[in-house]
Amino acid sequence: MDYAKVWFVFWAVLWAGYFALDGFDLGVGFSGWLAADGEEERRSVFASIGPFWDGNEVWLVTAGGATFAAFPAVYAGLFSWLYPALALILFSLIARGVSLEFRGKVQAAAWKSFWERTAAVSSFLAALLFGVAFGNLFRGLEIGADGYLGTFAGLLNPYALLTGLLFCAFFFFHGQLWLSFKTPAPVAGKARRLAGGAWYALLLLAVLFAAASYAYTGLSANFLVRKYLLVLPALLTASLVAAKLLLSRGDPGRAFLVSFAGIVFFALTGFAGIYPDLLPSRLDPEFGLNVYNSASSPYTLRLMTAVTAVFLPVVICYQVWVYRLFRAPLGSEELRKSGMY
């Protein structure tokens, strides 16, 4: 068994799972205020993601740990070459977490307003920066014989920014779908309307991203050679259409699940496009980092595979249990009784 290839798949799945899970609470963080008027409605927005957001970030920690253990050269490259960008993402996630926990600690209106604004700005920045980061991976980095030759400003290229906006649109739509079935009626109704409008912006950005990817990146090459990979963008397209149809039919819960699948298919489409690279080079493919020149030893990968086979199902079962435990929509009565958020 080629464990390096297996771990590329694990790596891709972990990142896809993180974006689909943390995507909705990032979306709620920067767009939930649009669906809420008044303190009780805003509190319902924050309470809807309260039991879930920190558990969702476990997938980010796991994806980072998998990168460190399975592809240490990639981990070293990321934190050597792109440290300022990654630090911005980290600070955004810290600010988002603090704002969610601190908002309900003091009942003063100014205090709550400050943390709501902090949550909105930090959640938006995290979503945008993740998109910019992976847009640069899809596009390729300026890696030469002497390492990374680009600049921080160079990471903010039009293609990467387009990818960042697409991430934000996906998370906005995903987050509003969550609110549309998880919160009480006033918020849920506004969230459904916002999700319906956001879908058109998401579709436009997805089309622009696909055109830009074909014109300016090498993402399409793998799909032309390995035709079976075309099932991923096909499933992504089907998910977008199905989410809109389900929302139009008044079934936001199933629309959310389909949107979840759409984010997974989007991420997997991008990773399938760059395979076997993890940090591709725009300058010369020989200088990029891929599954062949950056993987750990076969023994390490075998051991990691055995550990993952035991503990990953435990993590999945735990999260399924949490989502099942808190599956009921929030009611006004329980919000009034709760002093949190």
The per-residue pLDDT for range 209-242, each reduced to its tens digit, is: 999 999 999 888 899 899 999 999 999 999 999 9
pLDDT at 50: 87
What tens digit of pLDDT does each residue of 109-165 get?
A: 999 999 999 999 999 999 999 999 999 999 999 999 888 888 888 999 999 999 999
Task: Provide the greatest CA pair distance for the chain.
Answer: 63
Q: Give me the pLDDT at residue 334, please.
A: 55
Residue showing tokens 């399409």: 220
Q: Taking 70 as the threshold, does the pLDDT of residue 337 lie above it?
A: no
Say if CB 44 and CB 184 are below 8 A apart. Answer: yes
pTM score of the predicted model: 0.94
Q: What is the pLDDT of residues 22-61, one digit of tens each?
A: 999 999 999 999 999 888 889 999 999 988 998 899 899 9
User: Around Cβ 331, how many Cβ atoms within 10 Å?
Assistant: 12
On whether the CB atoms of residues 162 and 209 are closer than 8 A, the answer is yes
Token pair of 278 as six digits: 């993890």
**In 3-state terms, what secondary structure has residue 180?**
helix
Give the pLDDT score at 296: 93
Q: What's the pLDDT tens digit per position in 58-85? A: 899 999 999 999 999 999 998 888 888 8
Confidence band for 328, pLDDT divided at 50, 70 and 90: confident
Least confident of 267-271, 284-288, 333-337: 333-337
Q: State the Cα–Cα distance between residues 61 and 67, nearest whole angstrom.
A: 10
Gap between the Cα atoms of 140 and 198, Å rounded: 29
Q: In a 3-state reduction of DSSP, which class is residue 280?
A: coil
What gap in Å lies between CA 264 and CA 70, rounded to an integer?
Answer: 21
| pLDDT tens track for 280-324 | 999 888 999 999 999 999 999 999 999 888 888 988 898 899 898
